[in-house]
Amino acid sequence: MQKAHSNCLRLLLPSDLLMSHRRPAARLLVMAVVLLVAISLACGNPFSVSAQTCTVTTSAGTPDATFNAIWTQNGPGIGEEPIGGPGWTGADSTYSLLLPNGDSAFFFSDSYIGEYPSISGDGTVSTDANGLRTRAVNCSPPLCNPPTSLYRAHNSVVIRNGVTGTLTTLVGPPDATGYSTSYFAPPLALVTGHFYWMGDSVVVQVDASGTKKVWTFLMEFDGSWVYHGSAIAQLSLPTLTIEAIKPLNNVPADNVTSWGSAMWLDGAYGASTLYIYGMQGNNPSGKLPFIARTNPGLGLDAVTDTNNWTVWNGSQWVVGLTSAAPIIGGTANALNSGDSISDEYSVKKIRSGAGTTYLLVTQDTKAPYGAWKDIVLYSACNPQGPFSAKQIVYSTPETAATRVPGMTSNQSLLGQLLTYNPHAHPQFTDQGDLLVSYNLNASNSGDLIYADAYRPRFIRVHISGLRRPQ
């Protein structure tokens, strides 16, 4: 930040004026006033808090009916999903990535999949005359009490065609009973019971000839939700075929940060930097984000070696993962000390009326789990911050709701709805409106028979002067 302003000063000030001790004081005062006005106009006011945080100007978010309809799918051959293969009907996470061919890939964690042809207990959804969307019970007492519908895949990928809007679902091979499995799976997953939840993805050029791949972060957990480390998958383009999955290595034993919650790739091939954001979800001070960086030009093997990473310690980039300092919520973060954000979040480099901003989209999690509702934005001039104070742009109306669409007056959920893990999707920016998703889930597992109790929802947040990415 200071370096940027220093460079701007050098561009505007003649070299002889920088040697100001050679000028009479009165003349220098007049010139200084004129130049400060010019600097403010050309560079933005470098002395204002707003300029230092590149803070965007926003309006309150509103639901996006189009994307809410797109992600209301009942199974193959219904809606936007073609007949003949598996079809997504619900999930969480909801990361997305614009692909070079204009399609967008959506990366989901725990996923309901409708099979083709449909089989008993899969994720296929039925809609009654009132619009109530339900899945058949596939788990009953004593294992599941109350009875419910369980998902079978811990992750999936859905490619949305940029021209036709058709949705193509990528999952793993069917298990012995015919249900689709996870697209990404750790080695020995059937033995250990471990699984991958999704992290963020980027498109990376991997050689001088222009070959591009997708790098996707995966976070490994066991059945007790204990984190076992992160890995990076390399996928081909445009098919997103898995070419390799490389676990991070040389991770300190006392590392408690789950890496890959968000990513941003800055710069062109040969001069690029990959910023990797992490999360300490169990920090006593709250859910706190961290940042590391590495050189993607080293290749996948070297990037997954954390000895090739540096982390931001609050004042500079240093080696050693455990030296990282929180970029939001820490005691040294003056504008947002004490804040707590969601486990998943997005960091996107955008251009708007505020100039170039690194925009962090997340949810305020200071309230107890289940009461989270405020979707918030933080702005910064640099990937590591300093980040602005939070801007609340939307409060999720579903939080603590006891009904879903289609229920009659005498119907209600067994528990309540909760919301979590917002993400930004800047490739769908329209007239300055940023597309943001968040996830719905149910506090009582018996309510997962209702498709609208477990799915993503979408809103539009207007940002003054926001431009669509090129």
> Which CATH number do you get for residue 212?
2.115.10.20
DSSP string, 223-292: TT--EEEEEEEEE-TTT--EEEEEE-BS--TT---EEEEEEEEES-TTS-EEEEEEEETT-TT--EEEEE
Neighbours of 402 (CB within 10 A): 14
Instruction: Tell me the residue type at 203.
Output: V
For residue 307, being part of any structural domain is answered with yes
Report the SS3 class of residue 41: helix
pLDDT digits (tens, 9 = 90+) for 281-323: 988 989 999 999 999 999 999 999 999 999 999 999 999 999 9
Q: Is 216 found in the same domain as 73?
A: yes
Strands (DSSP E) contained in 295-354 are 310-312, 317-318, 346-352
- pLDDT of 175-222, one tens digit each? 999 999 999 999 999 999 999 999 999 999 999 999 999 999 999 999
Statement to judge: residues 254 and 322 lie in one domain:
yes
What pLDDT, on a 0 to 100 scale, did the predictor assign at position 470?
Answer: 77
| DSSP class per residue in 413-469 | -SS-EEEEEEEE-GGG-BTTEEEEEEEEEESSGGGGGBGGGSEEEEEEEEBTT----
Alpha-carbon distance of 50 to 47, in angstroms, equals 9
pLDDT band at 39 (very low <50, low <70, confident <90, very high): very low
Mean pLDDT of 226-249: 97
DSSP 8-state class, residue 58: B
Instruction: Tell me how far apart the terminal alpha carbons of the chain are, to the nearest angstrom.
Output: 24
Say if residue 340 is in the same domain as residue 298: yes
405 preceded by a cis bond (ω within 30 of 0)? no
- Tell me the average pLDDT across 271-277: 98
What are 385's two structure tokens?
């911050």
Among candidate residues 28, 47, 66, the one where a domain is terminated = 47
**Each residue of 105-139: pLDDT tens digit?**
999 999 999 999 999 999 999 999 999 999 999 99
What is the pLDDT, as a whole number, of residue 52? 54
**468 lies in some domain:** no
Whether residue 467 lies inside any domain: the answer is no
| Residue 434, in any domain of the structure | yes
Q: From residue 428, give the alpha-carbon distance in Å to each of 39, 98, 198, 357, 435.
A: 34, 9, 21, 18, 6
Residue bearing tokens 């249900």: 179
Q: What's the token pair of residue 172?
A: 């793993």
Number of structural domains in the chain = 2
Residue 83 confidence class, pLDDT cut points 50, 70, 90: very high
Q: Please indicate, yes or no, whether residues 117 and 258 belong to a single structural domain of this protein.
A: yes
| Per-chain mean pLDDT for the chain | 90
pLDDT band at 16 (very low <50, low <70, confident <90, very high): very low
pLDDT above 90: residue 26: no
Please write down the HEC assignment for all residues of 116-164: CCCCCCCCCEEECCCCCEEECCCECCCCCCCCECCCCEEEEEEEECCCC
Residue 470 falls within a domain, yes or no? no
Boundary (domain end) residue, out of 47, 62, 78: 47
Examine the domain organization and report whether 121 and 29 are in the same domain.
no
Same domain, 43 and 59: no
Residues 42 and 60 in one domain: no
Amino acid in the structure at residue 468: R
**Statement to judge: residues 167 and 39 lie in one domain:** no
pLDDT at residue 465, as a whole number: 97
| pLDDT tens, residue by residue, 127-176 | 999 999 999 999 999 999 999 999 999 999 999 999 999 999 999 999 99
Examine the domain organization and report whether 73 and 35 are in the same domain: no
- Residues 255 and 304 occupy one common structural domain: yes
Do 335 and 214 share a structural domain?
Answer: yes
For residue 418, give its domain range. 54-462
Kindly state whether residues 270 and 206 are assigned to the same domain.
Answer: yes
CA distances for 81 relative to 88, 100, 167, 180, 351, angstroms: 8, 22, 5, 16, 34
User: pTM of the full predicted structure?
Assistant: 0.89
pLDDT, position 6: 32
- Choose among 436, 239, 411, 252: nearest CA to 348: 436
249 occurs within a structural domain: yes
